[in-house]
Amino acid sequence: MKKIAIAVFTIAVVSAAAFAVARDDQIEFPADYKSYKNYLSLDRTGNDKQIIRLFANDKAAAGMDANGGLPNGSVLVGEIYKAKLDDKGEAIESSLSRRVRGKLAAIAVMEKRAGWGSKIPEDLRTGDWDFAVFSPDGKRLDKDLNKCRACHTPLTESDYLFSYDHLK
């Protein structure tokens, strides 16, 4: 009986770990994202040494649905660049008072699918959006996605998007 209990416990732990990994891997790298609409490029808020270029797939670029949010199947991609730095470690700004783009550091993906929100703890839920971060060559990076979720969670009036006004 003790061996059966240990076996059942082991299977439960392995199954739970597999579910957690599968949930974190539900977003695939959108290799064709450069064909998406580049709808915004700006100095990144919250990080004074980064620049972000935002892309929207056709579903997201079509704009908001009747409920004021983007439809399921929407994919937003952010190319995150390091800003070029001066010899003091400060971001170099152009004559337009914008940071000068340096090396591509990461590609962040935000994707919306029906039911995805139910798999995320309620205090970190962003509707049915979820997140992934990839290297420039498309390999998944081991990033704490709860930081992404926590940052977007308060944005309930804008479908959890900072760039909502640029898409509506």
Query: Tens digits of per-residue pLDDT, 63-81?
Result: 999 889 999 999 999 999 9
CB 78 within 8 A of CB 111: no
CB 136 within 8 A of CB 107: yes
**What pLDDT score was predicted for residue 1?**
44
Q: Where residue 24 falls among pLDDT bands split at 50, 70, 90?
A: low
Name the nearest CA neighbour of 106 among 149, 164, 64, 145. Answer: 145
- Residue 8: is its pLDDT beyond 50? no
Measure CA of the first residue to CA of the last residue in the chain; give whole Å. Answer: 61
Query: Tens digits of per-residue pLDDT, 30-70?
Result: 999 999 999 999 999 888 999 999 999 999 999 999 889 99
Instruction: Please tell me the class of the 29-167 domain.
Output: alpha beta
pTM score, whole prediction: 0.83
CB 55 within 8 A of CB 76: yes
**What pLDDT score was predicted for residue 93?**
96
Long-range contacts of 98-101 (CB under 8 A, 24+ apart): 98/42, 98/43, 98/51, 99/43, 99/49, 99/50, 99/51, 101/51
Domain ranges of the chain: 29-167
Distance of CA 154 to the CA centre of its chain: 15
Q: How far is the C-alpha of 160 from the C-alpha of 69, rounded, in Å?
A: 9
Give, in order, the Cα–Cα distances in Å from 152 to each of 11, 145, 159.
35, 11, 9
